[in-house]
Copies of this chain bind each other. A is one copy, B any other.
Amino acid sequence: MQNKIRSFGILGGDKRQLFLADSLIKDGYRVMLGGFDNLRSIGDITIADVRTALGYSDAVLLPLPSVRADGSLNAPFAVSTLYFDEEEQELLKQKPVFASMKDRLIRAYPALKSARIYDYAARDDFSVLNAVPTAEGAVECAMSAYEGTIAGARCLVVGFGRIGKILARMLKALGAEVTVSARSSTDRAYISALGYDFVNTEKLTEIRGYNIVFNTVPKLIFDRELLENTDCDTLLIDLASLPGGVDFDAASALRIDAQRALSLPGKCAPKTAGEIIKTTVFRMIEEVNR
């Protein structure tokens, strides 16, 4: 498939897609943008309308998420709300479409059921690669909100999934004292083998002596009861996707500084986030061609 792809139509998206476009161009691909009419020009990249970008490209790249809840293209740089009309849907069916949240896309445009839609965001490697900008974004939040240095700070990372693994490593590399909370005995062994202290997430009944706590678990871990047993000068950064892992009302009432940190790759490192989309799409092409 890759051999044939020489041009990409990038429809909608934010800064990440612009960096993605830039990176593709540097790799020698032709790129046409659609749904960015608010921007006059961006270096050498051609800005067109959605239909042109769709028509003149070998493959289509949709953003993250691809469409909004109402089915419109997720195109914050577009002047107006954009929907794929029938002709555009027909074009989408003729070429490989790299998208995210495929289910929602097909729900909005049932005609695309027969399209070759490749969901890059559903892949595990995509999530792993994004753990780096996410963890760095979390460190940036902590550096900005915490009045001491990360070096020497006592940090607790709740959860040892993709983000917890990368974040714990980054904090330790910066000189923090890192405790990781997890549940399984295997995780516990890794945590100890990698030089972190361990606490059992199930036994988290109080948070004492930590300067910064990062939650990565998408469950209400920091409920009112736990927060009542948390030092009030602890900084709490919640990385878990909505609804998140912290009772923010309780935190606020208890005067604990709790912050939600969501969508960090796109916010803190759109360049890297765009390159990760490219990397993932290229791997999908590679795998299909194998």
Contact = CB atoms under 8 A, between A and B. Distances in A.
Interface string A184-202: 0110111011110000000
A186 B125 CA distance: 5
A269 B147 contact: yes
A152 interface: yes
Interface stretch (A33-41, A60-68, A133-141, A255-263): A133-141
A128 B186 contact: yes
Given A136-B174, A140-B140, A147 B189 contact: no
Interface string A161-201: 00000100110011100000000011011101111000000
Number of copies: 4
B144 A140 contact: yes
B185 A147 contact: no
A151 interface: yes
A7 interface: no
A178 B148 CA distance: 23
A153 B28 CA distance: 22
Contacts of A241: none
A205 interface: no
Given A143-B143, A147-B19, A195-B151, A189 B272 contact: no
B136 A15 contact: no
Interface in A188-223: 188-190, 192-195
A270 interface: yes
B149 A133 contact: yes
Contacts of A283: 185, 188
Interface size class of A (residues with CB under 8 A): 35 or more
A150 interface: yes
Contacts of A174: 136, 170, 173-174
Contacts of A270: 147
A131 interface: yes
A268 interface: yes
B190 A272 contact: no
A228 to B, nearest CB: 20
A173 B144 CA distance: 19
A272 B173 CA distance: 18
Given A146-B269, A149-B272, 13 more contacts: A123-B185, A129-B189, A129-B192, A136-B149, A140-B143, A144-B144, A148-B271, A148-B275, A151-B195, A151-B272, A166-B193, A174-B174, A188-B283
Interface of A: 15, 19, 123-126, 128-129, 131-133, 136, 139-140, 143-144, 146-152, 166, 169-170, 173-175, 185-186, 188-190, 192-195, 268-272, 275, 283, 287
